[in-house]
Amino acid sequence: MTSTSATKYETVIGLEVHVQLQTRRKMFCGCSADYADAVPNTHVCPVCMALPGVLPVINEKAVESTVMTALALNCSIPAYSKFDRKNYPYPDLLKGYQISQYDLPLSERGWLEVEVEEQPPRRIGITRVHLEEDTARLTHKTDEAGESYSLLDLNRSGVPLMEIVGEPDLRSPEEARAYLVKLRQILRYIGVSKANMEEGNFRCDANISLRPRGATAYGARVEVKNMNSFRAVENALRFEAERQTRALDAGASITQETRGWVEGEGTVSQRSKEGADDYRYFPEPDLPPVTLTAAQVEAIRAPLPELPDARRRRFEQEFGLPAYEANLLTESRARAEYFERVIAAGAGSGDASRRKRARAAANWMIGDFARLLHASGLEIDDARISPADLCAMIALVEDGAISGTSAKAVFEEMFQSGRAPAAVVRELGLEQISGSDEIAAIVDRVLAANEKPVAEYRAGKQEALKFLVGQAMRESRGRLNAAALTETLTAKLREKA
Amino acid sequence: MSIDRETVLHIAKLARIALTDDEIELFRSQLSDILGHFDVLDGIDTDGIEPTAQILPLENVFAPDVSRPSLPQAEVLKLAPLTDDGYLRVRAVLE
């Protein structure tokens, strides 16, 4: 994209996200919704197979999860909602229609705050969050004679599917990605879905158009599908924005169409789909409407956890943490809660020392702890080290019982064994050497063994001091207090000069 | 209210059925008759009556989120005209 084109047009993006809800049963029947590793066509019953005479019944948990999501996305919840039939001739639902929600969804008009690096946060509108059912999985094949056919697995058919429709408020591929990352984070925080794009329980379709900067009318829009990672969404949108820019620059017009993202190739035109009218939506006669009183909505809101943005701001204020650290700590609900348990374990200390401890806890959690978890492929909930033990270890460092260097070894051992810090310190013989005689003895040995660096330091080469500190640390296996060591070392170097 | 030939053809296309010329005329007149009945309803005074999409005095009929055993795979496959290695097999649906 040339720089003039980049400023000439404004990119307009709206995302539709489909999320599989984590429920035990399917949306309208009793089949298990947990089909991930199941043999094909083993989570099937007369209802999701659309046999004549069956009656669907709404899964209550799916309604609650949808309303809970809508509340987390600042939507309003109408008192009356209903389901509709969306008719289409495709065998991924044997009924010949999908039960969805057309004109009276469970929620509407919300927003999500999105932040792209270096820019102030922006509110992206949420049109609606509604509930429908997932479709069967089709695999396309060709036989020896060259005849193509499709294989149908009904296990996914009828799994609760929540659709989150966003307003065309996004203005760049980066912002679209940030929106998805934030949305996934919230869904995981409130625990309604695994929200894993690679596993297919979080899917995204994007509408993208360009318009001359300053214009208010939207340009012809293209729907982009088949993106199965955040990176793919961003790349597909960037490709599409550039393609449309070139077309407009060349004086061509944009065809309103659906395009599929093909990795390594770009977006590719797909056959045009039927217009909205052709779905012949009509109210689902087998399902009575859903009505929600204000009290019922509040009952669903009550168990909502503190959401990531609120928590991040509180971490910044309450613990004086920098935005970067507060952001990392609140990335997942489990990590944020672990952090708070570490702080709670050290309760009773004053505000200043609480903040100091919070900084230390944050450093451990973002540093060594995150590294070890990653290396061993564990989530924080699987960690053997308890929040109370991490707190106790931080206290040992604060009190000078172990050095910062030793703490790393202690932490690693605690991480592996899950044992308490005091026991680990004793076992590894890592109690900090704080007696001045002991420190002096070690320093004397180091000075005697390193005549050349000593001479260099005395000749004015400051870096030699670092080397000597390192030697003393090695001599003591990291058990020396760094400040006390440096003090003794410089004093002795001066004294013998 | 009457339905024209084009509308019948459009509906037939959506339903994926082929119609002969005689059938097109037959359904055109039958579908027009059905819509004619709605004209009768249009004549009723509905002032002060809340619109509804439901005729039953029911709301919030829910099932608790508990799963039940599904059908054995063999039972499911038995109902399909064509199967293939545990799957139902259908004609190509690639768009």
- Per-residue three-class SS string for chain A: CCHHHHHHEEEEEEEEEEEECCCCECCCCCCECCCCCCCCCCCCCCCCCCCCCCCCCEEHHHHHHHHHHHHHCCCECCCEECCEEEECCCCCCCCCEEEECCCCCCEEEEEEEECCCCCCCEEEEEEEEEEEECCCEEEEEECCCCCEEEEEEHHHCCCEEEEEEECCCECCHHHHHHHHHHHHHHHHHHCCCCCCCCCCCEEEEEEEEEEECCCCCCCCCEEEEEECCHHHHHHHHHHHHHHHHHHHHCCCCCCCEEEEEECCCEEEECCCCCCHHHHCCEECCCCCCEECCHHHHHHHHCCCCCCHHHHHHHHHHHHCCCHHHHHHHCCCHHHHHHHHHHHHHCCCCCHHHHHHHHHHHHHHHHHHHHHHHHHCCCCHHHCCCCHHHHHHHHHHHHCCCCCHHHHHHHHHHHHHHCCCHHHHHHHHCCCCECCHHHHHHHHHHHHHHCHHHHHHHHCCCCHHHHHHHHHHHHHCCCCECHHHHHHHHHHHHHHCC
Q: What is the pLDDT of residue A426?
A: 80
Could you say which of A428, A449, A479 is where a domain stops? A428
The mean pLDDT of A422-434, rounded to a whole number, is: 77
The mean pLDDT of A50-66, rounded to a whole number, is: 97
Judge whether residue A255 has pLDDT over 70.
yes
Q: What is the pLDDT of residue A3?
A: 47
Q: What is the pLDDT of residue A497?
A: 52
The mean pLDDT of A464-473, rounded to a whole number, is: 85
Question: What ipTM score was computed for the predicted complex, to two decimals?
Answer: 0.88
How far apart (Å, rounded) are the C-alpha atoms in residues A158 and A156? 6
The reply to whether B95 touches chain A by the CB within 8 Å rule is yes
Q: What is the pLDDT of residue A243?
A: 95
Question: Same structural domain for residues A277 and A321?
Answer: no
Distances in Å between the alpha carbon of A282 and those of A81, A87, A103, A274? 14, 9, 10, 17
Q: What is the pLDDT of residue A277?
A: 61
Question: Same structural domain for residues A360 and A384?
Answer: yes
Question: Same structural domain for residues A100 and A231?
Answer: yes
Question: Which residues from chain B sit within 8 angstroms of residue A44, using beta carbons?
Answer: 70-71, 73, 76
Residue range(s) defining the domain that contains residue A85: 3-300
Judge whether residue A395 has pLDDT over 80.
yes
The mean pLDDT of A395-408, rounded to a whole number, is: 82
Could you say which of A379, A395, A428 is where a domain stops? A428
Judge whether residue A441 has pLDDT over 60.
yes
Question: Same structural domain for residues A236 and A176?
Answer: yes
Question: Which residues from chain B sit within 8 angstroms of residue A86, using beta carbons?
Answer: none
Task: Report the candidate in A144, A141, A272, A40 with the shortest Cα–Cα distance to residue B92.
Answer: A141
In this complex, the residue of B14, B54, B68 whose CB is nearest that of residue A288 is B54
Please indicate whether, in this complex, the C-beta atoms of A31 and B79 are within 8 angstroms of each other.
Answer: no
Judge whether residue A160 has pLDDT over 60.
yes
Which residue of chain A comes nearest to B16, CA vs CA?
A: A89
Question: Same structural domain for residues A296 and A320?
Answer: no
The mean pLDDT of A255-266, rounded to a whole number, is: 91
Torsion of CA A76, A77, A81, A85, to 10 degrees: 60
The mean pLDDT of B35-50, rounded to a whole number, is: 88
Percent of chain A scoring above 90 in pLDDT: 64
Which residue of chain B comes nearest to A34, CA vs CA?
A: B67
Question: Same structural domain for residues A252 and A379?
Answer: no
Question: Same structural domain for residues A59 and A125?
Answer: yes
Question: Same structural domain for residues A293 and A312?
Answer: no
Please indicate whether, in this complex, the C-beta atoms of A41 and B92 are within 8 angstroms of each other.
Answer: no
The mean pLDDT of A25-46, rounded to a whole number, is: 96
Judge whether residue B27 has pLDDT over 90.
yes
Question: Same structural domain for residues A203 and A163?
Answer: yes
Closest approach of B17 to chain A, Cα-based (Å): 11
Judge whether residue A197 has pLDDT over 80.
yes
The reply to whether B43 touches chain A by the CB within 8 Å rule is no
Please indicate whether, in this complex, the C-beta atoms of A90 and B56 are within 8 angstroms of each other.
Answer: no
Q: What is the pLDDT of residue B93?
A: 64
Please indicate whether, in this complex, the C-beta atoms of B62 and A60 are within 8 angstroms of each other.
Answer: yes
The reply to whether B92 touches chain A by the CB within 8 Å rule is yes
Q: What is the pLDDT of residue A476?
A: 78
Question: Which residues from chain A sit within 8 angstroms of residue B71, using beta carbons?
Answer: 44-46, 49
Please indicate whether, in this complex, the C-beta atoms of A41 and B76 are within 8 angstroms of each other.
Answer: yes
Judge whether residue B67 has pLDDT over 90.
yes
Please indicate whether, in this complex, the C-beta atoms of A32 and B70 are within 8 angstroms of each other.
Answer: yes
Q: How many contacts does A have with B, using Cβ atoms within 8 A?
A: 130
Structure confidence at residue A151 as a pLDDT band (50, 70, 90): very high
Question: Same structural domain for residues A79 and A154?
Answer: yes
Q: Are A59 and A66 in contact (CB under 8 A)?
A: no
Q: Chain-wide mean pLDDT for chain A? A: 90
Could you say which of A268, A300, A332 is where a domain stops? A300
Number of domains in chain A: 3
Please indicate whether, in this complex, the C-beta atoms of A45 and B70 are within 8 angstroms of each other.
Answer: yes
Q: What is the pLDDT of residue A1?
A: 44
**How many residues are present in chain A?**
497
Please indicate whether, in this complex, the C-beta atoms of A82 and B56 are within 8 angstroms of each other.
Answer: no
Judge whether residue A2 has pLDDT over 60.
no
Annotate A420-465 with three-state secondary structure: CHHHHHHHHCCCCECCHHHHHHHHHHHHHHCHHHHHHHHCCCCHHH
Q: What pLDDT digit, counting tens, does each position of A280-307 carry?
A: 899 999 999 999 999 999 999 999 999 9
Question: Same structural domain for residues A48 and A15?
Answer: yes
Q: What is the pLDDT of residue A5?
A: 54
How far apart (Å, rounded) are the C-alpha atoms in residues A330 and A436? 43
The mean pLDDT of A124-146, rounded to a whole number, is: 94
The mean pLDDT of A250-277, rounded to a whole number, is: 82
Q: What is the pLDDT of residue B95?
A: 46
Write down all domains in chain B, each with its CATH number in brackets: 5-42 (1.10.20)
Please indicate whether, in this complex, the C-beta atoms of B77 and A30 are within 8 angstroms of each other.
Answer: no
The reply to whether B56 touches chain A by the CB within 8 Å rule is yes
Question: Same structural domain for residues A163 and A228?
Answer: yes
